[in-house]
Amino acid sequence: MSSDRTVRMQQLRVAVVGAGAAGLCAARHILSRPDNFAPPVVYELTEHVGGTWFYEERTGSYDNGLPIHSSMYRDLRTNLPKEVMMFPDFPFDPQLPSFLPHQEVQKYLERYCQSHCITPHIRFSAVVDEVSPVVTEGKGPMTTWEVTSRDKSGSQNTETFDSVFICSGHYSDPHIPSIPGLERFKGKVIHSHSYRHPEPFSGQSVVVLGAGASGLDISLELGRSNAQVTLSHGKPTLPFPLPYGVHQATPVEEIQEDGSLRFQDGSITQAQVLLLCTGYNFSYPFLEPARLGLEVQEHLVTPLYRSLMPPAFPSLFIIGICKIICPFPHFHCQVQFALAVLEGSVALPSQAEMEEEAQGEMARKVERGVQLRHMLKMDKEQWGYAQTLAQTGRFAPLPPVTQSLYEEVWRQRQVHPQNYRQVNYRLVSDTQWEEQELHAGE
């Protein structure tokens, strides 16, 4: 920007890293404000849009040696109904059921991209290697950003922008927990990032580690495929019956000398496969966190003002870093807020005040007993957060029905993980929805 605190009258140039849902959302809103913004440059390391939602049968690396980005598995159906999952200004096809196979979300994102004429602004097969601030002294400190990217041929190019939106996702760098003796396990160890379908595990004994959304979902599909599944997790006993073939266990404490697994309650088992559904690390290899005043840890990035930007550089925005959110509506709010900041219609507090607010939030969470690795989980706080962004950024808030339907589905998922998707919802108004049970086979 011309100055970190003042607006410049000419169009701002924005770089967007990633053409997943967050990057497309950023591009769509930038393009809708031609008075203030030049068309964005969207860098995308793959040859397609969609990010997570583009299913890759391959695991490991792309032909260029970079690790496969998407963690999508073949039979995944969304865990949110399309009525709340959608960008609030762009509904899914009304003919579709509420809970969608991943292919439909990919088609939706492609349609979003086409409808908003984003494609011409995407550089495919362009990997961002470095994003660094350039601070110059004029009337005040002025920050621009140098973005260095690499194309298919390997040649590098550096361009200058007024602002950067980091939309590179955070479900790609597998988190491998430190289990004593893991190297002694004699079977196959894989992370859910590289899980695609259950058939290879049929008839095998599989210990699934972690009962988050993927751990539970994958355990159920492995169980249906005739694997003997032990779902090992640190949560209280799950409040619903698990299907035949799926048992619960306490966390794995150690892999013993003979390769067997010892659980926290002292029980021991042998297994052919250890499937780690243990989440992902935050990873921004193209940033130099210390230069930005940030600390990037496996499960935490601090300090971030409004869970969005480093107080020292409020023209860099990390979209969608929080977990336990309703992703697309959340991106929609963050992007509009960020653009309002760049346009100067949101007056930011001083750097020191932003730091104090971000650190104060963390301190309050620590006081409430929130562990460091859960700090960026928003859960119930997401609605107040989105509301505040909308009020401050002066754009339309999320309709109340997004929260009420999201919370209803969340409740159903806790008690009926196997059949909460057997229902269709219909939005009746901004505040109301109705449901319709599906019959077997629908």
Residues lying near ligand FAD in the complex (CB under 6 A) are found at: 17-23, 43-46, 51-53, 69, 71-72, 76, 78-80, 85, 127-128, 167-169, 171, 214, 286, 320, 327-328
Q: Which is nearer to ligand FAD, 80 or 231 (CB)?
A: 80
Three-class SS of the chain: CCCCCCCCCCCECEEEECCCHHHHHHHHHHHCCCCCECCCEEECCCCCCCHHHCCCCCCCECCCCCECCCCCCCCCECCCCHHHHCECCECCCCCCCCCCEHHHHHHHHHHHHHHCCCHHHEECCCEEEEEEEEEEECCCEEEEEEEEEECCCCCEEEEEECEEEECCCCCCCECCCCCCCHHHCCCEEEEHHHCCCCHHHCCCEEEEECCCHHHHHHHHHHHHCCCEEEEECCCCCCCCCCCCCEEEECCEEEECCCCCEEECCCCEECCCEEEECCCECCCCCCCCHHHHCCEECCCCEECCECCCECCCCCCEEECCCCECCCHHHHHHHHHHHHHHHHHCCCCCCCHHHHHHHHHHHHHHHHHCCCCHHHCCECCCHHHHHHHHHHHHHCCCCCCHHHHHHHHHHHHHHHHCCCCCCCEEEEECCCCCEEEEECCCCC
Q: Which is nearer to ligand FAD, 255 or 329 (CB)?
A: 329
Shortest CB 367 distance to ligand FAD, Å: 29
Q: Which is nearer to ligand FAD, 108 or 201 (CB)?
A: 108
Residues 149/43, Cβ–Cβ less than 8 Å? yes
Q: Which is nearer to ligand FAD, 52 or 302 (CB)?
A: 52
Q: Which is nearer to ligand FAD, 211 or 261 (CB)?
A: 211
Angstrom CA distances, 270 to 219, 226, 255, 273, 392, stand at: 17, 17, 10, 9, 56
Query: Which of 222, 177, 208, 227 lies closest to 274, judged by CA?
Result: 208
Q: Which is nearer to ligand FAD, 18 or 303 (CB)?
A: 18
Q: Which is nearer to ligand FAD, 45 or 276 (CB)?
A: 45
Shortest CB 21 distance to ligand FAD, Å: 4
Q: Please identify which residue in the block is written with the tokens 């409020």.
A: 314
Q: Which is nearer to ligand FAD, 58 or 394 (CB)?
A: 58
Shortest CB 73 distance to ligand FAD, Å: 6
Q: Which is nearer to ligand FAD, 142 or 296 (CB)?
A: 296
Q: Which is nearer to ligand FAD, 229 or 277 (CB)?
A: 277
